Amino acid sequence: MIVRNLRNAFDLRVSRRELLTAAGATGLVAALHPFSAFAAANQAHLRLMETTDLHVHVFPYDYYGDRPVDTVGLARTATLIRGVRAEATNTLLVDNGDFLQGNPMGDYIAYERGMKAGDLHPIVAGMNQLNFAIGTIGNHEFNYGLEFLDNTVAGADFPMVLANVAKGTLAASPRGDDMLYEPYRILERTVVDGDGNRHPIRIGFIGFVPPQIMNWDRRHLEGNVSARDIVESAKAWVPEMKEAGADIVVALSHSGIGPATYTEGMENASVPLAAVEGIDAVMTGHHHLVFPGDAFAGIDGVDAVAGTIHGKPATMGGFWGSHMGLVDLLLEHDGTAWTIAGHTSEARPISERVERKNVALVESQDDILEAVRADHEATLAYVRRSVGKTSAPLHSYFALVADDPSVQIVSQAQTWYVGDLMKGTEWDGLPVLSAAAPFKAGGRGGPEYYTDVKAGDIAIKNVADLYLYPNTVRAVAITGAQVKEWLEMSAGIFNQVKPGMADQPLINPDFPSYNFDVIDGVTYRIDLTQPAKYTPKGELQNADAGRIVDLMYDGAPVDPDQRFVVATNNYRAGGGGNFPDIGPAVTILEAPDTNRDVIVRYIVERGTINPSADANWTFVPVEGASVVFETGPAGQGYAADVRGVNIEATGDGEEGFARYSIRF
C-alpha cells in the first residue's frame, strides 16, 4: 500500500523533501532514500553514482596557487561515495571521462615522468581505491596520444566503454566499425529486493565522447582513429544491448546537456541521446556544470529541478571532484522483466559557499590520499621548479598605459594554439589575431595586485599569476571593421583628454581591467582626444567618435571587409563584457583547453619564451597635455623599460599606490 502511494507520488513528481518526510514518518532515519525504505518484495533500489571531469584532481589542492582548497579532489568525493554505499545495498559507481588531463599533476606525468607500459597513472591509482564498476573515455583522454592512453587504461581495475570511436576509418555502418574500445558492456550483478531476496540483473553501460576530438586532437588522432556522431552510434548499439539481454541501459555520455534539437555531429548531445529508445538513464559531463541545477533551466525536454531529460533520470557531477552525481532507481520485476518504477536525480557537493568563502562539507579519505601521495609530492616539486625560462620580466604594472609583457605572453600562447587548431578547417589561411586583457592590474585589488614574475626561471605556479581564471580558449571569425569596434570598446577604459591641460586622470575606474582587451597581431594607436564610442557596459554612446586610428595588419591599413580569426576566451566569446558583435554568433572554435594549460604547454614546448612587449599599440600624442595614473610601487624597477610612452614617477598616490604621469 505504501509502495503504491509512493509510486503514485513519483508519477506526480513529488519533491525530494516530501519523500524524505514520508520516510521520516515511518521512524526510519531521514538519510535513508525512500526507495530503500519502501522497496517491496519484487522491487530493488539501485543507486548509480557518477564522477565526471575529474581532470587529475585527487588531492584537495590547487597546484597553480600552491595551496589547499576545499572545492576539488576525488579524495573528498570518495567520502560521499562511501557514504552512499554505507546506506544502500545496491550501488554502482561509474566515471564519465576527462580524468587524464587538466591540472599540473596531469602535466607532470605527461611532460616529466612519462607513462610507459606498466606505469600506474595517479588518477587511476586514486580511482582504483574506489571499486568503480565502469568508465568511459572523455575528449581529454586523447590529449597525450593513444599510446599514453592505452598505458593509462591498462592500469585501471575497471573496464572502459566507448561506442563512437573506431580504429582507422569508419565502416559503412556503426556496427561494422573496428572499435577502439568495446562499445558497451553488460554487467551481471545481483540486487537485493525489499524482502532481502537476491535477484540477478544485467545492467548495460554504453559510452560516448564528442566527435570534435578529431579536431581538438588532430595531431594524435588523424589517420589512427575516427569518431562518429553520438546519437547515430547510440541508435546502432542500444538495440544490440537489448538483444544481448540488458535489463536496463545506462548511457555514460561525456557530452553536455545542450540543444534539444539534434544536429549531426553535435558536441553536447545528451538531450537527443536521452530520447533514444532503450536508454533508461543518462550520466552526463563535459560541461563542467551541475545537473539537476539552474544552469540547465529552460531547455526543451529538460527538467532541471527533477533532473530528467525526456523524462529519464540524468545527472552531471560538476568537475574536478566538486560533486558526486547520483541517480536512484526503483526497479521492479514483474516476473519476466525489470522495469523502472521510480527514479530521483541529485548532484551532491563536497563544499558550499558560506559568506563568500568555500567551506568543506566532507573530509578526505586517507587511503586515496596515500595511494597518490608520492605523485602529489612530485607534482608540488614540479610546479615549484623551473620548467622554462623567460627572457623578459612578466609584469602588469604598466598594462593599462602601454603594450605589456604579461598580456603579450597570453596572446603568444593563444595565437600558437588557435593557429594550430585552424589547420585543415575552413578558416585555415585567415590571419590569427589574439585578444587578451590584464587581469591583475591594481584597482580595487590594491597596490600589490599585479603580475610580477622576474626574468629567468619560470615555474608552473607562476602561470596562475599570468592567467587568474580557469577560462577556456575560444576563437571568433570577424571582419576588420569588427576588430576596430572591439578595440573601440576596449579604449573606453580611458577618460577623454583635452589638449593643453596638465595632469588629467587617464583611467576611468568604472571600467574593469579584464575588459581592456589588447589585440595582438595588428598595430594601432589610440586617440584620447575623442570621446569613448561605447560605455563601460557596451552601449553605443558616441556613434561618430573613433579613438582607434592607424589600425594596420602586416604593414597595411586593415580592410574593413577583411576576415580575421581572433583567439580569446569563453568569457569574451560568450558575450562577456557586451563587446559589439562578439558572441556565440561569430564563435568558430570552443576549444577544450584552459588558457592556463595552453600557456603552460607553450612554455614547456618552447623552453625559453620571449614575451617582450612589441608596442603594437600606443597613444596618439595629445598636444600640450599630460595625464596621470597610478600603479603598484613595485613597478618602479620596470618603468624605464616601458616602450612607446614617456612615463615619469611623480610620487605617492592614494592608498599605497605610486603616481605616474605621461607627457606627450
| Residues lying near Mg ion in the complex (CB under 5 A) | 98, 138-139, 286
Residue 149 is inside which H or E element, if any? Answer: helix 146-153
Shortest Å distance, C-beta 285 to Mg ion: 7
Residue 111: DSSP 8-state: I
Angle subtended at Cα 277 by Cα 272 and Cα 278, rounded to the nearest 5 degrees? 120
Write the Ramachandran bin of 168: left for phi over 0, alpha for psi from -120 to 50, otherwise beta: left
- Nearer to Mg ion by Cβ, of 55 and 547: the residue is 55
Shortest Å distance, C-beta 656 to Mn ion: 40
139 binds, among Mn ion, Mg ion, none (CB under 5 to 8 A by kind): Mg ion
- Nearer to Mn ion by Cβ, of 53 and 217: the residue is 53
Helix or strand or coil: residue 526? strand
Contact 458, 387 (CB under 8 A): yes
- Nearer to Mg ion by Cβ, of 98 and 520: the residue is 98
**Phi, then psi, of 351 in degrees rounded to 5:** -150, 165
- Nearer to Mg ion by Cβ, of 98 and 328: the residue is 98
Write out the residues near Mn ion by the rule CB under 5 A. 53, 98
Gap between the Cα atoms of 339 and 397, Å rounded: 64
431 binds, among Mg ion, Mn ion, none (CB under 5 to 8 A by kind): none
Contact 129, 371 (CB under 8 A): yes
Gap between the Cα atoms of 344 and 229, Å rounded: 29
- Nearer to Mn ion by Cβ, of 99 and 617: the residue is 99
CB neighbourhood size of 391 (10 A): 11
256 binds, among Mn ion, Mg ion, none (CB under 5 to 8 A by kind): none
33 binds, among Mn ion, Mg ion, none (CB under 5 to 8 A by kind): none
Shortest Å distance, C-beta 498 to Mn ion: 51
Gap between the Cα atoms of 372 and 126, Å rounded: 6
Q: Which of 469, 414, 393 is nearest to 642 (CA)?
A: 393
Strands (E), 485-553: 504-505, 518-520, 523-526, 548-553
Shortest Å distance, C-beta 589 to Mg ion: 15
Gap between the Cα atoms of 237 and 183, Å rounded: 8
Q: Which of 469, 363, 453 is nearest to 83 (CA)?
A: 363
Shortest Å distance, C-beta 286 to Mn ion: 6
User: Which residue's Cβ has the minimum distance to Mg ion?
Assistant: 286
- Nearer to Mn ion by Cβ, of 289 and 475: the residue is 289
- Nearer to Mg ion by Cβ, of 208 and 660: the residue is 208
Helix or strand or coil: residue 568? strand
Shortest Å distance, C-beta 526 to Mg ion: 39
Gap between the Cα atoms of 382 and 401, Å rounded: 35
212 binds, among Mn ion, Mg ion, none (CB under 5 to 8 A by kind): none
Residue type, 379: T
Shortest Å distance, C-beta 97 to Mg ion: 7
Half-sphere exposure of 631 toward its Cβ, with a 13 Å CA cutoff? 29
- Nearer to Mg ion by Cβ, of 286 and 333: the residue is 286
490 binds, among Mn ion, Mg ion, none (CB under 5 to 8 A by kind): none
47 binds, among Mn ion, Mg ion, none (CB under 5 to 8 A by kind): none
Shortest Å distance, C-beta 138 to Mg ion: 5
